[in-house]
């Protein structure tokens, strides 16, 4: 196993300031980063967080890489703890711009314009935590994620789009596990999975499964549309609208 470089060596411009939070303020330039920045008590040179003025946003978390000189960010919504924006950069000044914009409540697209390394995840903000809007937001995230997926690539994209086109499936909260598309009658943080599981193997091979083991195959299909239709047909009757997962309480 490779030995981690000393953070003071990998980040010589951060170490003299004693923390990543202090280095962010300096990198931002005079008067630019006015947002409060907190350092990690256990790893001050490597982690920091910037709170938002919007109650439906968690802090923007900044993490230094351990083996390369780079920084990652993750900005989450507060109801489920799911990422709204992410990004990786070698420019600490851009991190500071993103952090200030996140704190100030700038729109997600505006944050990206200010700091081009920022990547919206496809989710949109739901200030009141409406479970139906959170469901649609998660579908938009999965569709955006599928457009850039490398494995299983085209087959997975086709499966997500076919499931979204089925009204009965689109009405459920979607989530994935090892590229298996699953459905819930509640939002996160506590999911209540329901119905079959869809898996894409190649562009002409899909399966509808009863569980994640793959041993209980309900159907093999050659198209994503057929797989989604079978899954919709096998949903339990009488499903109501998606409800909040454990009232959005953290697990």
**Alpha helix positions (H), the chain:** 7-10, 20-28, 92-104, 108-114, 131-147, 154-165, 167-170, 224-233
* Same domain? 160 vs 95: no
* Same domain? 115 vs 167: no
Residue 204 lies in a domain: yes
* Same domain? 203 vs 145: yes
Q: Which residues pair with 205 in a beta bridge?
A: 202
* Same domain? 114 vs 152: no
Q: Are 43 and 64 in contact (CB under 8 A)?
A: no
In angstroms, what is the C-alpha Rg of the chain?
A: 21
Among candidate residues 120, 144, 174, the one where a domain is terminated? 120
* Same domain? 95 vs 144: no
CA 244 to chain CA centroid, nearest Å: 18
Residue 1 lies in a domain: no
Among candidate residues 101, 120, 139, the one where a domain is terminated? 120
pLDDT score recorded for residue 247: 54
Which ranges of the chain have pLDDT less than 70? 1-2, 30-31, 247-251
Residue 194 lies in a domain: yes
pLDDT score recorded for residue 178: 81
pLDDT score recorded for residue 251: 39
How many folded domains does the chain comprise? Answer: 2
* Same domain? 108 vs 42: yes
* Same domain? 228 vs 173: yes
- Determine the structural domain holding residue 146 and report its residue range: 131-248
Q: Are 45 and 9 in contact (CB under 8 A)?
A: no
* Same domain? 61 vs 151: no
Q: What is the pLDDT of residues 15-65, one digit of tens each?
A: 999 999 999 999 887 657 889 999 999 999 999 999 999 999 999 999 999
- Cα separation, 95 vs 85, in Å, equals 12
pLDDT score recorded for residue 171: 98
Residue 71 lies in a domain: yes
Among candidate residues 61, 89, 120, the one where a domain is terminated? 120
- Cα separation, 158 vs 177, in Å, equals 17
- Cα separation, 176 vs 192, in Å, equals 13
Q: Classify 182 as helix, strand or coil.
A: strand
* Same domain? 60 vs 111: yes
pTM of the model: 0.91
* β-bridge pairing 173-177 and 119-120: unpaired
* Same domain? 146 vs 220: yes
* Same domain? 142 vs 76: no
Length, in residues, of the chain: 251
* Same domain? 149 vs 232: yes
Residue 125 lies in a domain: no
């Amino acid at each position: 196993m490779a030995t981690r470089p000393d953070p003071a060596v990998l980040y010589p411009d951060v170490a003299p300031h004693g923390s990543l939070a202090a280095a962010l303020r300096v990198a931002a330039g005079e008067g630019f980063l006015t947002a409060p920045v907190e350092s990690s008590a256990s790893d001050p040179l490597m982690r920091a967080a910037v709170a938002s003025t919007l109650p439906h946003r968690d802090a923007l978390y900044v993490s230094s890489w351990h083996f390369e000189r780079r920084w990652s960010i993750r900005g989450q919504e507060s109801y489920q703890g799911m990422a709204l924006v992410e990004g990786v950069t070698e420019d600490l000044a851009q991190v500071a711009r993103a952090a200030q914009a996140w704190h100030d409540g700038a729109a997600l697209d505006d944050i990206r314009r200010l700091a081009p390394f920022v990547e919206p995840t496809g989710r949109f903000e739901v200030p009141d935590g409406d479970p139906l809007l959170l469901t649609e937001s998660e579908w938009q995230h999965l569709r955006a994620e599928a457009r850039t997926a490398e494995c299983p690539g085209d087959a997975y994209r086709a499966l997500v789009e076919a499931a979204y086109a089925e009204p009965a499936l689109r009405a459920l909260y979607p989530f994935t596990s090892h590229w298996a598309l699953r459905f819930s009658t509640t939002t996160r943080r506590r999911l209540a999975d329901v119905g079959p599981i869809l898996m894409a193997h190649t562009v002409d091979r899909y399966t509808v499964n009863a569980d994640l083991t793959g041993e209980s195959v309900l159907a093999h299909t050659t198209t994503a549309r057929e797989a989604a239709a079978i899954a919709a047909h096998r949903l339990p009757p009488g499903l109501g609208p998606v409800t909040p997962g454990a009232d959005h309480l953290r697990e």
